[in-house]
Copies of this chain bind each other. A is one copy, B any other.
């Protein structure tokens, strides 16, 4: 396989593992990169010292390219960017914020920069400030998401039409068929989140992984739109939230209802009732927790099998 994305990162397959909070530690990242994809550490759930430790451990366990995903709205982003430069990380994916703020700093330090967007407008803005590639993420993706609600099937061709730098599709992709379909729509590579949550190497709790493989269509929902929209599993906490919505709560009351560390409680500590369980719609097509090597092998095999039919 040879696409603008395999060339940009010097990887074997144009498969990127999304840098998800509470899931994307050094074990997952090294496994994905060793299997020919691009692993991304999820800085969003790591204090700077923890991130440094994960970077160092990833380097010990793979000599292949890997990166870090940094949500730009997090409080200690400056410290995180500095340590990424100090630790000589070569690839950074930024998300949830303005791509202008950090792109030139990172590029000046020799880092390849990719920004995650969910609209044509921000894809154009990202290209303008000099990112090397764009992830366009659809409404079906898990975790935090955009207010526009544009789906992968419609977003990818619209972004492709607007930009001329490499494009990575995200949201709803977990199989070889999905990867080929994303390419047909105009993507040069894919980013997968949910599929890698259901891996033995993900750092999340095994309860959460089992909940993910049990998901059927319609079991996830985008909620908390008044704060920051997030796609989660409809569990006990979600149902209580829907009841609470009927009281017409203010943003402050919603924030209080959400409380602190609920994503950690759900995904890392495995509390399936009271935790926030972030996952994409495509979890309905994921039936088994597997080793990363097997996940990537299966995707590539299916990709070529389907491609042969065309």
Chain A residues within 8 Å of B, Cβ to Cβ? 119-121, 138-140, 148-155, 157-158, 161, 171-173, 175, 177-178, 180-182, 184-186, 216-218, 221-222, 248, 280-282, 284-285, 306-307, 310
Given A306-B184, A307-B310, A151 and B138 contact (CB-CB distance below 8 Å):
yes
With a cutoff of 8 Å between Cβ atoms, the chain B residues found around residue A149 in the complex are: 139, 221-222
Instruction: Say whether B177 contacts A153, CB under 8 Å.
Output: no
Number of chain copies forming the complex: 2
Find A151's partner among B153, B180, B306 (CB 8 Å cutoff): B153
A140-B154, A151-B153, A153-B171 are known contacts; what are 8 more A-B pairs with Cβ within 8 Å?
A119-B218, A121-B217, A151-B151, A153-B178, A154-B282, A155-B217, A178-B185, A180-B310
- Most B-side CB within 10 Å, residue of A120, A184, A221, A222: A184
Find A154's partner among B185, B221, B284, B310 (CB 8 Å cutoff): B284
With a cutoff of 8 Å between Cβ atoms, the chain B residues found around residue A186 in the complex are: 177
- 4 closest pairs, A vs B, by CB? A148-B218, A153-B172, A181-B181, A151-B151
